[in-house]
Structure 1
């Protein structure tokens, strides 16, 4: 972590912005994260300031073999399918359709490292999820990348569909899917996760978490990147994500 960076100061600003549904225009010098280490320290400080349990992780990569980044998700921002959320709670909010994995065992803090096989063997179920993407920064998405990472990687909420048991034969690279908002399609083209097979992100997430001293509890949901890009509905309505082979997930934006 940068010597001059105050993670707690940034966390206080982010938590206050969340509480008051406000947007930050700038950051004071000592609270500007300059790299991923700063951002992860700010994530930890934010969880402490929120007194939040971790309900999940969001993780992603921009290319099939590129670097991976992630953020822990506060448990109170995790919702079951059919949730009704206020658009006003997020300001400008985007929606993404993703595949997520629920972990069926506990990984202890400061343990590991774990292999891909170790973590895939721990998958309890697979789910369609809708992520509400939202930022505490007024200029988003034109915001420094470490600032976005510090802000729990632009996380607003996660709506989790019912799960099915893990099946290695599921077409994780490009599953058939439809994503609609009040019946209108939210994306065109072939669904694709920029990270490729999202299972490649899972061991990184577990190892990253336990190396930070954070347990991965049984039941933790790991959501692993959008297949549809991001859509920005500007009126209330209902989003439905239907991924072939998984139960549909539904969000009511009021």
Structure 2
């Protein structure tokens, strides 16, 4: 088997492992022989997993700091939900929840030579939303899982619950917007800002421009969620989660008691 064929086989085997681990809810340690060798291989596995689940309808984008290069992930229709959403107690292995700002695009952002500006990206957005991303994992110990495996495993995406939209962006800098995450009516987190990337504007523009020269650019109807504005919080069966931002209707999800 030549080197290209060997790499393709490894990607296919890694994608199959991730799909089977998620589908069975049997978390497992990362198999050493299938570990992504680099970012490109991790992304190839990510794409292979998503390709088996359906067409892309949404995206997640984030960055570890205001200076860090953004990373993104692909989201298919089976994990995109309107608020309020209800999940079975065993729907996820991890069930970590984060409050995020999401948008829905009105216009296609097709290939072109010049980068899209902030004004053009904002002008192509149809609606702004509060959202809750549910993180999930194929692995037995998510925190100890190597970063490249997390990239391959759909950037730890489990589900995205999108609240009702408004046509205008919230007033004030997005990076300092007041946010609240509630569990069963009790405030778990309430602060201004909180996104590790700072202002999500940079993330939106980066994603549009990163995809504009690809076979799958950002298209009308796509939802993009822009990274967590609250710390990692693991929800449990029987709980109701509510995320709200100033100027945006809340997003809600509930988890059945069993």
Give the TM-score, by structure 2 length: 0.89
Report the number of matched residues: 250
The separation in 1 between residues aligned to 2:168 and 2:113, in whole angstroms, is 23
- Residues 143, 167 of structure 1: alpha-carbon distance in 2 compared, 3 angstrom cutoff: same
Which of 150, 154, 157 matches 1:155?
A: 157
Alignment check: 8 A CA contact 1:187 1:228 kept: yes
CA RMSD of aligned residues (A): 2.0
The separation in 2 between residues aligned to 1:41 and 1:226, in whole angstroms, is 24
Which of 6, 19, 22 matches 1:18?
A: 22
Deviations 1:117-141 (A, max 9, x none): 3322211111000000111111102
Paired position in structure 1 for 2:126:
124
- Residues 189, 244 of structure 1: alpha-carbon distance in 2 compared, 3 angstrom cutoff: closer
Structure 1 portions without partners, runs of 5+: none
Paired position in structure 2 for 1:46:
49
TM-superposed CA distance for 1:35, in Å, is 2.3
The separation in 1 between residues aligned to 2:131 and 2:75, in whole angstroms, is 14
Deviates more, 1:33-42 or 1:131-140: 33-42
Structure 2 portions without partners, runs of 5+: none
For residue 248 of structure 1, give the secondary structure of its aligned residue in structure 2: strand
- Residues 189, 76 of structure 1: alpha-carbon distance in 2 compared, 3 angstrom cutoff: same
Alignment check: 8 A CA contact 1:97 1:129 kept: yes
TM-superposed CA distance for 1:177, in Å, is 2.3
The separation in 2 between residues aligned to 1:67 and 1:128, in whole angstroms, is 24
Deviations 1:41-96 (A, max 9, x none): 1111112222x111211110011111111101111100000110123121122000
- Residues 56, 44 of structure 1: alpha-carbon distance in 2 compared, 3 angstrom cutoff: same
Query: Superposition pairs for residues 200-219 of structure 1, below 5 Å?
Result: 200-219=202-221
Which of 167, 170, 174 matches 2:169?
A: 167
- Residues 28, 155 of structure 1: alpha-carbon distance in 2 compared, 3 angstrom cutoff: same
